[in-house]
């Protein structure tokens, strides 16, 4: 497919080779082997024998699997719906301030939670939400909410808790990314609008939003994918008492492969299905939200 | 810094002083009784290396008093003292505090009982540790820090005495008056020192090194004291005065220098120093000096002073001393001095336990290996410390004057209020971290309490129950130190590899012409969308077949496939003008050279952004390490944390896991946002 006649082309390939080789080994081959494993009844270290598409059939019939898919998608939808607008508004707010040092302090402060190990974040929030008189309830009570919630032992509160912690951890990078984008915007339309006497809302709607669309789409997709992949946060937050309404796909695969019955083959099949589901989501998002390519050029 | 560069030879002398001190500490580790006769004598000579501290004091006196002498001799006003103070503070405080903080943390983790801990901490922070034997060594781990408070005391005394000189001499100044004044000052110092010996000698209860650090300082104490060390400093001051006189009277100086008298003097004095150290190497401590002062005061001190004067004015020997290696060592000498003992402690905690003890190692090969390791790591640490901790502050002080005053902006109350509100929100985001710190310091019983322990009493009362137990347990029972080390190795390895691999790829995409460019761009970007976590089982298999299980490369190699990195660097490279590349091509530079020498330095902000993003991913990654690192000794922090079954230790380990990313981010966060912004600007 690629001709190597030109010297330059050969050199270009040489420059790209390290990345391409690593990509080949750790994504393409990993991929293929994943598929091959999913066709076997491998269990633990036993390689197993070929059983065709039986694993796929079983997984697709497994209500736990579909539950985990539902949990992941619900979580991703809720998280993205909350995080992206919030991060966007906060970054607009930060960029509107005239104080340089305060701006960089704010960005750092919002970003710091995302430096924390997700597992540790889970454990930390266990602490903040422990017992009926926990610090979280004190804060909630302060703002007029119900101050007597038992967060860690209440199944219905598990999902909101997950959303809260994920919000705390993820929003920092989004804010920094949006701020960087806002700063890099071309200023001339703003000057024109100011001369025309346009209001703040109309500037936001007619200039900022369209200009920021690629960045918003990019962030939406990457955030959605990483939310779909949520795993160690659940493990850290709920530890040995994981309710099924917070068991996401990856956790399901992990539990199947390494905890429940060591069904490597079946778990591989689940991994493959999950992979395509997630890929489909990101492609759909690209399509629906439009102009995915423009961001690249 | 500028003045110091002007004197030839002094860099070499400073480097020699620093190496002497390190060799002294190295020699202390080896058991002298089980060595060969020749090695014993070499070791004895090395043990004399503690005199390096005296070199330091003479050199400091020389360099710091020079501006004062210059103004004195040229009949100018007393120099700007606030500038002097600021420069001293910028030079000493950041590095010293960093080293002191690390030493305190290590001591808390590894030293079981420490007497006078609070006292040492407070005096260590206020540079007053040297005034009492209970605090002479502010840190149990990093003993060389004792000299810092002495040095700071000299920094205070020197301008005071100089002020006296300027006042006394009035308008009728002369070089002779200055030197006579300082000789009297020296006699005064020795006199006061005599009084200290008479009235302030510690009692003999538990006096001596066999009673630990406090006993050791008691043994040292009246002989080592801040006033006495100002005597060493004063020798440097006098040497500086003589040099200033020579520099002012160029003709005289050239006449002497042409006869090579300075060269000969420097050779004779350095030979005399070596001879003296050889001669005293078998003698006991505190002999061959007046008032039992350390470091053979005033004989050695005078020799050093003579050496420095003659080196500064010499024609050849000064250059001889300033080799490239010595210059570099001199540049980072402060860092070497304050960090090398921390490295000794770390090696003894993690590699070779005997390395901490006095003359404990019998096998000289083992000793040489460990010592070489220590010296290499110390150079690395000192270089890092110089560039990232010390230099920024020194630069800041030097740039203060060049800054142009900004016009004041109008204060807008609306914006101020909105900034305030946002700050409150941001603090709410950081708050859980403080909570983590608080919880990790509490005894296990208080951790899981509802309502939280901190609300059950007044805050000051509740803080009283803080202990370091959780941290001790984390380090001793759960081996968090090793996990931290593994995490650091894996993260830095991944960042390094990613930067290389991804920048090469992006370079090809931007600066080379070839077919199917778009295809290569898209496949690289598509890795961004791959949910790698869904492929954990085949990943395990691939790693197993490539023998990457339980290997750092098993985490580093897959980590380097970063689609986002390609995206970011490509965006950044696109903004580099092609003319830069073309010019280099004209000069015959190959792509590889352009990539390394031109593009990578230009892309530093983007690389910083990439490094932070990668670091964040790798440092926090849980799934890959849990699959690939099955061996307990190789586990990274997140995996280790999940396996800890004690709440307090989990919290302590959690807090430890935050510290490094936090420091890195706070250090590089400007470059990070800049790199991201510049990368995205169209």
pLDDT of residue A295: 40
**Residue B187's pLDDT band (cuts 50, 70, 90):** very high
Whether residue B230 sits in one domain with residue B184: yes
ipTM of model: 0.81
DSSP state of B239: H
Whether residue B490 sits in one domain with residue B381: no
pLDDT of residue B4: 41
Residue B408 lies in a domain: no
The answer to whether residues A38 and A56 touch, using CB atoms and an 8 Å cutoff, is: yes
pLDDT of residue B150: 93
pLDDT of residue A2: 41
Whether residue B455 sits in one domain with residue B501: no
Whether residue B238 sits in one domain with residue B277: yes
Top-confidence range, A212-226, B187-201, B398-412 = B187-201
Q: Summarize the confidence of residues B128-153 as an average pLDDT.
A: 91
**Residue B378's pLDDT band (cuts 50, 70, 90):** very high
Whether residue B527 sits in one domain with residue B380: no
- B594 Cβ under 8 Å from any chain A Cβ: no
pLDDT of residue A70: 93
Most A CBs within 10 Å, among B410, B411, B533, B562, to test the A interface = B533
**Residue A3's pLDDT band (cuts 50, 70, 90):** very low
Question: Over the stretch B393-420, which tens digit does the pLDDT of each residue have?
Answer: 888 877 765 554 444 556 677 788 888 8
Q: Summarize the confidence of residues B363-391 as an average pLDDT.
A: 90
Q: Do A278 and B534 touch (CB under 8 A)?
A: yes
Domain count, chain B: 3
Top-confidence range, A37-51, B530-544, B564-578 = B564-578
Question: Over the stretch B458-491, which tens digit does the pLDDT of each residue have?
Answer: 667 777 778 888 888 888 888 898 899 999 989 9
Judged against a pLDDT cut of 80, whether residue A290 lies above it is answered with: no
Task: Check residues A158 and A99 and name the one with the higher pLDDT.
Answer: A158
pLDDT of residue B315: 84
Residue B231 lies in a domain: yes
pLDDT of residue B609: 86
Q: Summarize the confidence of residues B608-622 as an average pLDDT.
A: 86
Whether residue B527 sits in one domain with residue B455: no
Token digits of residue B247: 């520099």
* Burial letters B326-365, b for 16+ CB under 10 A, else e: bebbbbbbbbbbbbbbbbbbbbbbeebeebbeebbbeebe
Whether residue B509 sits in one domain with residue B444: no
Q: Summarize the confidence of residues B151-165 as an average pLDDT.
A: 92
Q: Give the one of B436, B525, B620 whose C-beta lies nearest to A124's C-beta.
A: B436
Residue B69 lies in a domain: yes
Three-class secondary structure of residue B442 per DSSP = coil
pLDDT of residue B447: 76
Whether residue B170 sits in one domain with residue B122: yes
- B445 Cβ under 8 Å from any chain A Cβ: no
First to last CA, chain B: 42
Residue B247 lies in a domain: yes
**Residue B60's pLDDT band (cuts 50, 70, 90):** very high
Whether residue B372 sits in one domain with residue B460: no
- B379 Cβ under 8 Å from any chain A Cβ: no
* Closest CA in chain A for residue B427: A109
Token digits of residue B213: 């650090």
Which domains does chain A carry?
A: 63-296 (1.10.3720.10)
* Residue B601 belongs to domain spanning: 474-680
Whether residue B337 sits in one domain with residue B211: yes
Percentage with pLDDT > 70 across chain A: 94
Residue B584 lies in a domain: yes
Question: Over the stretch A160-207, which tens digit does the pLDDT of each residue have?
Answer: 999 999 999 999 989 998 998 888 888 888 888 888 888 888 888 888
What DSSP line would sit under B456-470, residue for residue? Answer: HS-HHHHHTT--SHH
**Residue B5's pLDDT band (cuts 50, 70, 90):** very low
Range 71-100 of B in CB contact (< 8 A) with A: none
Cα B266 from Cα B317, distance rounded (Å): 7
Residue B656 lies in a domain: yes
Residue B404 lies in a domain: no
Range 408-427 of B in CB contact (< 8 A) with A: 409, 412, 415, 418-419, 422-423, 425-427
Which residue, of B384, B399, B414, is where some domain finishes? B399
* Burial letters B182-191, b for 16+ CB under 10 A, else e: beebbeebbe
DSSP state of B126: T
pLDDT of residue B6: 62
Q: Summarize the confidence of residues B477-506 as an average pLDDT.
A: 92
**For the domain that residue B566 is a member of, what is the CATH number?**
1.10.3720.10
pLDDT of residue A7: 61
pLDDT of residue A163: 93
Question: Over the stretch A117-155, which tens digit does the pLDDT of each residue have?
Answer: 888 888 888 888 887 777 778 777 777 777 777 787 888
Whether residue B513 sits in one domain with residue B436: no
pLDDT of residue A293: 45
Residue B294 lies in a domain: yes
Whether residue B644 sits in one domain with residue B563: yes
Task: Check residues B179 and B647 and name the one with the higher pLDDT.
Answer: B179
């Amino acid at each position: 497919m690629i001709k190597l006649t030109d010297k330059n082309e050969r050199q270009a390939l040489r420059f790209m080779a390290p990345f391409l080789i690593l990509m080949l080994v750790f994504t393409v081959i990993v991929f293929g082997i994943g598929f091959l494993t999913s066709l076997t009844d491998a269990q633990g270290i036993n390689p197993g024998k070929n059983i065709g598409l039986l694993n796929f059939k079983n997984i697709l019939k497994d209500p736990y699997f579909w539950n985990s898919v539902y949990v992941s998608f619900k979580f991703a939808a809720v998280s993205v719906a909350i995080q992206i607008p919030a991060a966007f508004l906060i970054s607009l707010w930060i960029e509107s301030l005239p104080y340089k040092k305060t701006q960089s302090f704010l960005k750092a402060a919002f970003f710091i939670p995302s430096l924390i190990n997700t597992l540790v974040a889970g454990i930390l929030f266990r602490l903040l939400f422990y017992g009926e008189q926990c610090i979280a309830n004190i804060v909630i009570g302060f703002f007029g909410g119900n101050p007597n919630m038992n967060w860690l032992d209440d199944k219905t509160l598990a999902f909101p808790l997950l959303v809260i912690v994920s919000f705390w951890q993820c929003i920092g990078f989004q804010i920094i990314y949006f701020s960087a984008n806002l700063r890099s915007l071309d200023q001339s339309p703003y000057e024109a609008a100011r001369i025309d006497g346009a209001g703040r809302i109309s500037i936001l709607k007619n200039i900022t939003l369209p200009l920021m669309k690629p960045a918003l789409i990019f962030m939406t997709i990457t955030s959605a994918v990483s939310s779909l992949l949520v795993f160690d946060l659940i493990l850290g937050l709920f530890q040995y008492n994981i309710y099924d309404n917070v068991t996401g796909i990856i956790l399901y695969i992990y539990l199947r492969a390494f905890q429940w019955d060591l069904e490597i083959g079946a778990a591989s099949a689940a991994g493959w299905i999950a992979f395509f589901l997630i890929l489909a989501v990101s492609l759909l998002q690209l399509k629906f939200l439009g102009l995915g390519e423009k961001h690249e050029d | 810094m500028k003045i110091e560069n002007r004197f030839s030879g002094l860099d070499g002398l400073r480097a020699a002083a620093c190496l002497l001190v390190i060799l002294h500490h190295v020699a202390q580790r080896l058991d002298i009784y089980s060595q060969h006769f020749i090695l014993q004598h070499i070791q004895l000579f090395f043990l004399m290396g503690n005199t390096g501290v005296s070199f330091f004091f003479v050199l400091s006196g020389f360099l710091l008093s020079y501006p004062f002498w210059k103004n004195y001799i040229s009949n100018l006003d007393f120099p700007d003292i606030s500038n002097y103070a600021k420069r001293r503070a910028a030079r000493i405080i950041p590095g010293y505090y960093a080293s002191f903080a690390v030493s305190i943390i290590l001591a808390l983790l590894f030293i079981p009982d420490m007497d006078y801990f609070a006292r040492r901490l407070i005096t260590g922070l206020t540079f007053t540790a040297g005034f009492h034997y209970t605090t002479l060594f502010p840190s149990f781990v990093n003993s060389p820090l004792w000299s810092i408070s002495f040095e700071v005391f000299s920094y205070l005394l020197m301008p005071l005495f100089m002020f006296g000189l300027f006042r006394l001499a009035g308008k009728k100044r002369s070089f002779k008056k200055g030197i006579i004044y300082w000789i009297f000052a020296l006699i005064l110092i020795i006199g006061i020192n005599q009084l200290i010996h008479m009235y302030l000698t510690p009692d003999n209860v538990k006096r001596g090194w066999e009673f630990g650090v406090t006993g050791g300082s008691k043994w040292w104490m009246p002989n080592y004291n801040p006033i006495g060390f100002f005597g060493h400093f004063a020798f440097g001051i006098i040497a500086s005065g003589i040099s200033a006189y020579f520099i002012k009277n160029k003709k005289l100086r050239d006449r002497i220098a042409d006869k090579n008298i300075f060269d000969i003097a420097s050779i004779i004095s350095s030979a005399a120093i070596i001879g003296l150290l050889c001669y005293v190497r078998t003698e006991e401590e505190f002999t061959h000096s007046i008032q039992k002062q350390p470091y053979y005061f005033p004989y050695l001190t005078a020799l050093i002073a003579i050496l420095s004067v003659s080196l500064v004015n010499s024609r050849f020997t000064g250059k001889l001393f300033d080799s490239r290696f010595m210059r570099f060592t001199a540049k980072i000498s402060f860092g070497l001095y304050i960090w090398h003992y921390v490295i000794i402690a770390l090696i003894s905690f993690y590699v070779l336990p005997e390395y901490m003890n006095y003359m404990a190692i019998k096998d000289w090969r083992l000793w040489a290996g460990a010592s070489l390791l220590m010296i290499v790591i110390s150079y690395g640490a000192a270089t890092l410390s110089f560039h990232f901790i010390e230099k920024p502050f020194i630069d800041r002080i030097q740039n203060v004057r060049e800054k142009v005053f900004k016009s004041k902006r109008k204060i807008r109350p609306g914006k101020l209020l909105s900034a305030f509100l946002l700050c409150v929100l941001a603090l709410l985001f950081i708050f859980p971290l403080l909570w983590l710190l608080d919880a990790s310091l509490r005894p296990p019983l208080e951790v899981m309490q509802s309502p939280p322990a901190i609300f059950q009493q007044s805050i000051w009362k509740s803080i009283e129950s803080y202990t370091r137990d959780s941290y001790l347990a984390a380090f001793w029972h759960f081996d968090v130190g090793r996990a931290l080390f593994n995490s650091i190795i894996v993260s830095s390895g991944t960042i390094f590899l990613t930067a290389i691999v991804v920048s090469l790829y992006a370079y090809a995409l931007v600066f080379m012409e070839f077919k199917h460019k778009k295809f290569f761009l898209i496949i690289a970007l598509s890795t961004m969308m791959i949910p790698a976590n869904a492929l954990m089982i085949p990943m395990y298999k691939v790693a197993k077949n490539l023998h990457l299980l339980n290997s750092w490369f098993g985490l580093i190699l897959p980590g380097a496939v970063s689609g986002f990195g390609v995206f970011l660097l490509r965006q950044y490279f696109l903004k580099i003008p092609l003319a830069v590349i073309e010019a280099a091509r004209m000069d015959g530079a190959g792509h590889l050279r352009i990539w390394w020498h031109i593009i990578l330095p230009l892309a530093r902000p983007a690389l910083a952004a990439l490094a932070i993003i990668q670091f964040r991913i790798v440092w926090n990654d849980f799934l890959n390490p849990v699959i690939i690192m099955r061996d307990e000794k190789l586990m990274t922090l997140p995996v280790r944390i999940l396996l800890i079954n004690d709440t307090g230790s989990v919290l302590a380990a959690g807090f430890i896991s935050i510290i490094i990313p936090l420091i890195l981010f706070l250090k590089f966060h400007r470059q990070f946002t800049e790199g991201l912004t510049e990368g995205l600007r169209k």
